[in-house]
Structure 1
Amino acid sequence: VRPIAKTEAESDSPPPQLSVLCRTLDQVRGAIAASAERIYADFHDPRDHKAAIALGAEHKANVWIASLRIQKPGEMGLLKQILKQAPAGLLARNLAAVRMGLEAGIPTIADFSLNVANHRSAEWLMDQGVQRVTASYDLNADQLDQLVSSMPAEWLELVLHQHMPMFHMEHCVFCSVLSPGTNKTNCGRPCDRHVVQLRDRVGKLHVLQADIACRNTLFNATPQSGAEIVSTMVARGVGSFRVELLSENETEAESMLTLYRRLLLGEIPGQDVWRSLSAENRVGVTRGTLEAKRNPLAIL
């Protein structure tokens, strides 16, 4: 029998944890400086994983590695290579990664791509042995509140800040446009040296990045922040929140994470964080999927 989810956090519960997903070593340094409880290394060059883990060991930081989003049968060697680095844990983005992480005996958290949108999916993954599940990106603020109310809140990790991934594809733009090669064996890895952005019809520049399997993800130029729902989620007992970095440098990462840390500790309200991020970020911020449910007949 599953325990009934608490509607209010216990008064003696520990402060919420801050997890940070980093895509560069500089961001890892910023996360370490901000004393993040958990750091996910999500690099397109697997050689950087070893450096991130060494950096974490040097500063007594908890460095995990994020798996591929899509895992094909012939690519299990890439996952084994990640596990070979002996990270503190694995952020699993597919069921193959969940299984291999658990079989390897390392802590495993299920990421958003496993689409936990109801208590049944969360329960199934927890029964497999994962430590936590990440709430689906499809949920708005009201639906997220319903999810938290339907299950033990300590199962969840909520992504608090991110550039929403708009699509994930097999085609590698870096190889196609910036290299005379035809695949990863002869492309010369232009993704190591070049920044690629796609400009939309209103002039916003959306960042394109490659993963270790050379698949490309396009990230929305405007970051999404759930700062205004944090107090409610903390009150309901959610104890782990994530900030996903994209192109921030070390200083920018530390500054943003310090702001979110103060929010999680209740030192500043969500509105102040929202205003600060809007002022500091040149493209502003959006509530995105975390907005409250709107009347579909409303014009605005």
Structure 2
Amino acid sequence: MKMPELLAPAGSPESLRAAVQAGAGAVYLGWGEFNARRSAKNFSDEEFAQALEYCHLRGVRVFLTLNTLISDRELPRAAETARKACRLGVDSVLVQDWGLFDLLRRMLPDLPLHASTQMSLFTSGGCREMAADGCERVVLARECSREDTEAIVKNCPAEVEIFAHGALCMCYSGQCAMSAVLGGRSGNRGRCAQPCRLPYGINEPAGKRYPLSLKDSCLAAEIPDMAAMGVDCLKLEGRMKRPEYVAVVTDVYARLLEENRGPTREELARLEQAFSRSGFTDWYWQGRHGAGMFGTRPENAPEPKELFAQARALYEKDAARTVDVHFAVTCTAGAPCTLTAADPDGHTVTVTGPVPEAARTRSLTAEELETRLGKTGGTGYRCAGVEATVDEGLSLPASAVNALRREALAALTAARIAPPVRRELPVPPLDTTDCAAAAPEFTVSVTTAAQLSPELLAMKPARIYVPLELLGAFSALPEYHGEWCAILPRVWRDQDEPQLRRALEHAKALGVTGALAGNIGHLPLLRGLDLHVYGDFGLNVFNSRALEYLKKKGLESACVSFELRLAQIRDLHKILPAEAIVYGRLPLMITENCLIENSGHGCRCDRPNFLNDRTGASFPLLPVFGHRTEVQNSLPVWLADRPDYRRLGLAYARLRFTTETPAECVDILRRYQEGAAAPGSFTRGLYERGVE
């Protein structure tokens, strides 16, 4: 049985050495400005090249994280970063952005790409979609259970990687806008300020409760099960953690994988000492949710000095991780001596030394050669055997033997660290299709059936988006002279797909002609239904090439990210008709846990609920498909009095109704049609200030 690869974090050169010496099979690191841990130390140009050599010498793979959303202006730099890394021999690149993914697939067709967890992959269909587009590996959402993971492993041709240990985000990765909207620091851009670690109140003032702060995950006990089901890689989280933490956690998991077993009590204690938040949780893997998953870490938590001192001793000596080398040396009369060095990976090199002289006093022996060739300390190699062929009566200076050994190991190192030959193709031209509109038509999304009032329908928005599960309650649609569209659930699982497919067929029978897809896994679910497919905000469209990619996937329009500034939206090449949310409470999080039920007052999702922060702001909590929770911003975006949003080339401008009454929906749409001022408090969102 093939064991999963162990992938460890390397937030700095020190952490990289710690991970390698502790037994990692691969490391992931940030180089340049485009990675999801931009606050980590990361690597300079020189350090990155050295990291590749250090790891490849020792048989460890290196994955580069380019897993952030990237603007049009940044795309050339991100692509050039990937090109340089490819030339240096990086083993794969992790990507979130659709535009960068498509660009790299076409520019660097031999460079392995991994779909970051930021792509929000949690179904077999979504993972197969990425595999079909050339992804070597998919990194699943942390919320996936054992059953979810097993189904994806069985049904996806790409490799499957899961997070086995470390911090859990409260929101599905790639779908969190809380840090961005509240503070301008985007988690999708590697600048998350971790607002989930702050105190909040559910339907009460914020106090000393932390309803968004999950414990760290620990799946160490599940290693035999994960190996048996065919998981390809276990990822350890922690690029922001110190090298000692990386050494401790990597060492424990490496031993467990080597012996295919669960942890001892002592090993669990070491993991908890290294870092935990009120202990660990494995509930997502078990398919469980609830308040028992949550925990905090005191700011003054003591450092485990003894444990970390042991960890430093492990990696600072730089001697724990070596490569076996077999030598074959030949010393015959009248011919230059030769030394061949071979490693377990199939690399073989041969070097030549001086011609041995006739011995004057003592003859050279095979035992003497074996002793001298075995002195590989400090090189990254361990002599695993010497085969010596020596004629009698010859002499060879010790300095010559040592020089042969050094030369052979240098040649073997060069072979081991040599970058693979990969194709490099020119940057493909961008699709010249221009779908920019002189002014956008209004679209409306609703949350409740009551919001679909006759007055609203009479105002003739171009499209009305209705949650798919809400359409299930309709036996007929109201009269309306526009396009009815179904909003597919942003989060679901494989086992939900038969139900969703039936709901889509029912919606189509009602007269629905379009579907709003906010996840790449929606596309296989929608195929064959003859519905118009439009991209939703969950796809995180951040650049023109993302629009081009989605056009090739069959989408007919796409909602752009609300983390873009108005000027950035204006400058997008409208390869597809583009839409933007111009009104409404922006969705900050979608959580696997039901926050209301976790609060201890039972599930009361059928009434208004709020998350309250320390400033007194209240964030409405809406129930969504699968008994999940969507956190809405405390204030709605308002742009009606900003006519510049109408000059961005948008084809559609969406009004997103969540908590509004039917009368408020009508009033707001009328104000947008008239370009009027807001009726109450509002925000401009990120359209003016943008994000880091």
Could you tell me the TM-score, scaled by structure 2's length? 0.33
- After superposition, the Cα gap between the structure-2 partners of 1:142 and 1:96, relative to the gap in structure 1 and judged at 3 Å, is same
1:24 aligned partner = 12
What is the match of residue 290 of structure 1? 285
For 1:56, the equivalent position in structure 2 comes to 52
> Is 1:98 paired with 2:101?
yes
Q: 1:234 to 1:84 in 2, by over 3 A?
A: same
What is the aligned partner in structure 2 of residue 159 from structure 1? 163
Pairwise mapping of residues 106-145 of structure 1 onto structure 2 (< 5 A)?
106-145=111-150
Which residue is equivalent to 2:572? none
Structure 1's unaligned 5+ residue stretches are: 1-12, 176-190, 206-218
Q: CA deviation at 1:159?
A: 1.4
Name the amino acid aligned to 1:162: G
Contact 1:63 1:89 in 2 (8 A): yes
SS in 2 for 1:73: coil
- Residue in 1 that maps onto 2:153: 148
**Structure 1 SS opposite 2:99:** helix
- SS of the aligned residue for 1:290 comes to helix
Residue 227 of structure 1: aligned partner: 220
The whole-number CA distance in structure 2 between the counterparts of 1:80 and 1:129 is 17
* Cross-structure match for 1:187: none
What is the alpha-carbon root mean square deviation over aligned residues? 3.8
Alpha-carbon contact 2:162-2:235 (below 8 Å) kept: yes
**TM-score (normalised: structure 1):** 0.70
The residue aligned with 1:75 is 74
Deviation readout 1:224-252 (Å, 9 max, x if unpaired): 12223222110112221111214322222
Q: Any conservation in 1 of the 2:75–2:100 contact (CA below 8 Å)?
A: no
Partner of residue 34 from structure 1, selected from 12, 22, 26:
22
Residue aligned with 2:161, SS: strand
Structure-1 separation of matches of 2:165 and 2:21: 18
Distance in 2 (alpha carbons) for counterparts of 1:37 and 1:18: 5
From 237, 240, 264, the counterpart of 2:233: 240
Instruction: Tell me the secondary structure at the aligned position of residue 24 of structure 2.
Output: coil
**Post-superposition shift, 1:261?**
1.0
Contact (CA 8 Å) 2:127, 2:152: kept in 1 or not?
no
State the identity as a percent.
Answer: 13
- 1:41 shift after superposition: 0.9
- The one-letter code sitting in structure 1 at the alignment partner of 2:54 is E
How far off is 1:294 after superposition? Answer: 6.0
Q: Distance in 1 between matches of 2:239 and 2:209?
A: 15
- When Rg is computed on C-alpha atoms for both structures, the one with the higher figure is 2
**Distance in 1 (alpha carbons) for counterparts of 2:42 and 2:222:** 37
Letter in 1 for 2:12: T
Structure 1 segment 81-92 matched on structure 2, within 5 A: 81-86=80-85, 87-92=90-95
Deviation at 1:76, TM superposition (A): 0.6
Tell me, in whole angstroms, the C-alpha distance in 1 between the residues paired with 2:18 and 2:9.
Answer: 11
Cα distance per residue 1:165-220 (max 9 Å; x no partner): 34454469599xxxxxxxxxxxxxxx9xxx99964358799xxxxxxxxxxxxx95
Deviations for 1:272-297, whole angstroms, at most 9, x for unmatched residues? 45454234435222225323346999
Equivalent pair of 1:49/1:65 in contact (CA under 8 Å): no
User: Separation in 2 of the partners of 1:81 and 1:203?
Assistant: 47
Q: Report the Cα offset of residue 253 of structure 1.
A: 0.8
Tell me if structure 2 keeps the 8 A contact 1:101–1:107. Answer: no
Larger CA deviation: 89-98 vs 283-292: 283-292
1:15 and 2:10 correspond: no
Is 1:277 aligned to 2:271, yes or no? yes
**Kindly tell me: are residues 113 and 25 of structure 1, through their superposed partners in 2, closer, same or farther at Cα, counting changes over 3 Å?**
same
What are the ranges of 5 or more consecutive residues in structure 2 without an aligned counterpart?
A: 31-36, 171-175, 186-190, 201-206, 291-593, 603-692
Residue 145 of structure 1: how far off its partner (Å): 3.1
Higher RCO structure (Cα 8 Å, ≥6 apart): 1
> Cα distance 1:71–1:198, how it changes in 2: closer, same or farther (>3 A)?
same
The answer to whether the Cα contact below 8 Å between 2:124 and 2:151 also exists between their aligned partners in 1 is no
